[in-house]
Each structure stands twice: as C-alpha cells, then as structure tokens.
Amino acid sequence: MATVSRKEIVLALLQHGRLTEFKDDACSLEALADYVGVRQNIVAWSEKLNWVWPDGGPAQWNAKYWTHGTPKPGIALHAAVMDAFLHQDKYAIGCYTATKLVVVQGVLDYYRRVKRDPVRARRVEQALLVDGEPLVGVEPGNMWSFETDPDPQDTERPGKLLNLRANVAPENFVPGDWTYLLNTDAASWQKTGYEGSNAIYMGRNRFDDYYNDHDHSYTYAQKLDEVYQWRHGVFSRSRDANKIQPLTPEGLALLGGTPADGGIQLDIRAGPRVF
C-alpha cells in the first residue's frame, strides 16, 4: 500500500480546527514543501512496523548500535536509527520511544535521502545531538503539562524536532501528527505502559500499530476502543479478544472528546518544525 499523498496532507492542513503558520524565515513555498514532505515521510516510516512490546519489562536495543537508547560512540546517528527499522526484532520498546524513533527517522531521512539536503540534514543532527541524547526532548516539554506533576522547567523546553499545537478541534488530524490518548481508568493506568497511547496519524483514517497487533494500523474508532478496552484487561487485541466489551456508537463518540468532557483524546498535536 502506498503511503499518504501530499495532497491529503495539504487538504488536512486547510481544515478548520487549528492554525498552521509559515512566517519569518519559514515564509516560503520551499518551507511548505518540506513541511508536507517531512509529514509524508514520517507516515511512510510508520507503515510496516513489528517491534517487540516490552509489556512492563525493560526496553531492549540492538547492542551493536545502542546503549540503553543512546547511540554507541563512533556510530553515526542515522545508522543507529535506521537499524531500529531494519532489525525490528532486536528492539523491545514502548510506544513513547517508538513514536520518537518514527519521528526522528522520518525527519532525518527526509533531508538526507529524499531531498538530499546536507545542510538541513546536518541541522537536524545537530539539534538531536546537542545534549548527546538524540531521543530525549524530541517533542516540546509542554506536551506533558497535563500530567499531575509536570516539571515546571521542562514545560518551557522547546522540542528538538517538533512544535506543539494546543486546543485543536476534535477529530482534527493531519498526517504525521503525534497525538496522545489518555487512559482515564485509574486501575489499568497503574500498569506500566498503559498510562496512555502515543500515536502517529497516518492519514486515510489510520493510526499506527507499532507491534503489528492489528494488521499494521487502526482506524480512529479502533484506536479509541483499543485504549478504552484496557480497563477490561484487553492488552492485546489478538490474545484478549474474548474480554472485549463492545461500545455503543454514542460511547465511542464520547471517547473522542477531551478527558474534561468524558473522553480520552487530548487536544494537543505535535508536528514537525521547519529546518
């Protein structure tokens, strides 16, 4: 299946529900083309994933390239990140790390391979490696301001690769968005890895499936239902199918609202910066 089209991305940017601006140095058709191209490439790298779910255990990385999520000395960043996609069975990672890997690969690969722009590719690498931890701080700190005990200093931190849009209208998604669905069930929220779901919108009403538990993607309704069903002990759609409690159409629609309105969908979206 071909990845999302640039046309769909542009049309999604024009829908009501959020503001997207290109100003100052980014006020150009080239910036728009790059912005759309990066989003398309993020989606492309989220299409066929089959990483291992750690299920509350420690993350696992290919020790040839990584030491606990940090590239080994002498290993090029792009090579380390690419290995996570070439040898997926060697990586047991949660959805937060998975989302960051998809974003980093999508952005870096766009400028290195798709556009072949070494200047901007180097800017991306420098942004990621400024602290020696390329997978830390990919998104802005205020993405997590909804948590009960956010670090005030961290909420002011800009993202290395992403900006944040808040107060986004319900069901407003642009392909390449990073969004978050919060598990509002107090009991299952305590289970490591099930506090919520970091998700990439892939376009065509599809969201990522990092562990190939649902044929590589979920519709939005299925994604909402996936997180909701955790409260019923459905931690694998294939293994725990007999525990699923069907939702009414009204109940499913309610989940698409914010937690303040009885739903689980946060009104924030993280999207790429312009380099």
How does pLDDT run across 27-60, given as a tens digit for each residue?
A: 899 999 999 999 999 999 999 999 999 988 999 9
Give the pair of three-digit tokens for residue 200.
Answer: 């990439």
Q: Is the dihedral of CA 71, 177, 54, 149 positive or negative?
A: positive
Give the pair of three-digit tokens for residue 253.
Answer: 């629609």
- Phi and psi based region of residue 260 (left: phi greater than 0; alpha: psi -120 to 50; beta: remaining): alpha
Mean pLDDT of the chain, nearest integer: 95
The CA distance from 99 to 200, in Å, is 7
The CA distance from 84 to 199, in Å, is 18
Residue 234's pLDDT is 94
Name beta bridge partners: 265.
181
Residue 148's pLDDT is 83
Name the residue with higher pLDDT: 193 or 150: 193
Task: Please state the rounded mean pLDDT for residues 5-17.
Answer: 95
Per-residue confidence at 1, pLDDT binned at 50, 70, 90?
Answer: low
Task: Please state the rounded mean pLDDT for residues 124-148.
Answer: 96
Look at residue 65 and tell me whether its pLDDT is greater than 90.
yes
Per-residue confidence at 19, pLDDT binned at 50, 70, 90?
Answer: confident
Name beta bridge partners: 272.
162
Per-residue confidence at 236, pLDDT binned at 50, 70, 90?
Answer: confident
Q: Give the burial string for 126-165 (b: 16+ CB within 10 Å, else e).
A: ebbeeeeebbebbbbbbbeeeeeeeeeeeeeeebbbbbbb
